[in-house]
Structure 1
């Protein structure tokens, strides 16, 4: 699923953190406190590795 600006802005925090996948390993992590961060997920030697890319400040 392609993440658009409206989907990202509409993502609300839940009790537990969760991911929205954009495809090819790019995910948006949403924390319970409302923070959002981009992560790149990939596999190396059969182990999943999450590489943080950037954080998006919460605008109110």
Structure 2
């Protein structure tokens, strides 16, 4: 009985940890994706603004 108690004790927290870390990874992934998309959008906007400024200078 002692051995089985130990294995249960060792196993259950590990499972909890794994699921929690998986959730955290998911959240971190989505946050990173959002950040990347936002940076990409910002870069595009800046490029457009620079192009407009160059066109205005030519005129």
TM-score if structure 2 supplies the norm length?
0.18
Query: Which has a greater percent of strand?
Result: 1
Tell me: higher relative CO, structure 1 or 2? Use CA pairs within 8 A at least 6 residues apart: 1
Q: Which has the larger radius of gyration?
A: 2
